[in-house]
């Protein structure tokens, strides 16, 4: 089966079960959202799926291939890219240098070298244009606004040309104009065939952007479906939306 599936995923830290026997199938080719109250296990779930953390139990499959517990770089090679809740950029590298470093992880010296591959530079500039910050190509990342850093991080994810993209709170700390820009980009990229899984607390973003919503509470899904259906679910209202 195409897409990302998780069965019985479990991860504990000490005596706390952050993810508790969670089973979810995300819709391939669609925009999926993962929501839930703080501490419900969303980021730990992300980390287990993308190889940042090894799960204690359960299976993660992508296009029916078992990717459980593989390293993050191996999962990225499968076609899964991700952003982080707190932006991960190299503050003293320019925007274009950040993208060149992203395409060759661990090779910052190569990214700064004069003999950079023209194809990589061209792609980096193309992606900076795509996210709307091409005019900042030669500006150090530390001098960008937080929203611009979010756009830069998304461009860095796209450098690897992933088929599935996981975004951890893309609207967090971002002004409304840039939230709208990120939303437009997600819709455009989805229309081009990319699948999204988005963790987000901004319910306006979730409900306007998503095709399919999964709700976590206490480490496992309690509801899923189209945004309007999830919004009205009594379990969701009790656990998260304050009903």
Structural tokens at position 104: 């060759």
- pLDDT at position 145 is 92
Residue 36 lies in a domain: no
Q: Count of domains in the chain?
A: 1
Containing 158, the helix (H) or strand (E) segment is: helix 146-158
- pLDDT at position 65 is 94
Q: What is the pTM of this model?
A: 0.89
The CA distance from 236 to 26, in Å, is 19
- pLDDT at position 231 is 84
Residue 105's domain spans which residues? Answer: 74-241
Residue 231 lies in a domain: yes
Residue 211 lies in a domain: yes
Residue 27 lies in a domain: no
The beta strand positions in the chain, using DSSP E, are 4-13, 16-25, 31-35, 57-62, 65-66, 80-82, 164-168, 195-199, 212-217, 220-225
Which residues of the chain fall short of a pLDDT of 70? Answer: 1, 86, 104-116, 240-243
- pLDDT at position 136 is 96
């Amino acid at each position: 089966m195409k897409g990302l599936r998780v069965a019985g995923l479990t991860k504990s830290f000490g005596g706390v079960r952050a993810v508790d026997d969670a089973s979810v199938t995300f819709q391939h080719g669609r925009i999926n959202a993962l929501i839930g109250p703080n501490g419900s296990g969303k980021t730990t779930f992300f980390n287990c799926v993308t190889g940042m953390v090894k799960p204690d139990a359960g299976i993660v499959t992508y296009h029916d291939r078992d990717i459980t517990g593989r390293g993050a770089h191996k999962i990225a090679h499968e076609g899964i890219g991700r952003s982080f809740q707190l932006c991960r950029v190299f503050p003293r590298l320019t925007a274009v240098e950040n993208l060149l470093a992203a395409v060759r992880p661990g090779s910052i010296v190569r990214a700064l070298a004069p003999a950079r591959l023209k194809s990589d530079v061209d792609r980096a500039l193309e992606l900076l244009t795509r996210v709307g910050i091409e005019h900042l190509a030669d500006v150090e990342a530390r001098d960008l606004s937080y929203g611009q850093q979010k756009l830069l991080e998304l461009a860095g994810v796209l450098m690897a040309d992933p088929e599935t993209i996981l975004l951890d709170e893309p609207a967090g700390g971002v002004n409304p104009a840039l939230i709208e820009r990120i939303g437009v980009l997600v819709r455009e990229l989805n229309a081009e065939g990319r699948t999204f899984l988005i963790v987000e607390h901004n319910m306006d973003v979730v409900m306007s952007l998503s095709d399919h919503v999964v709700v976590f509470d206490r480490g496992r899904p309690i509801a899923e479906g189209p945004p309007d259906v999830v919004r009205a679910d009594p379990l969701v209202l009790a656990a998260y939306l304050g009903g």
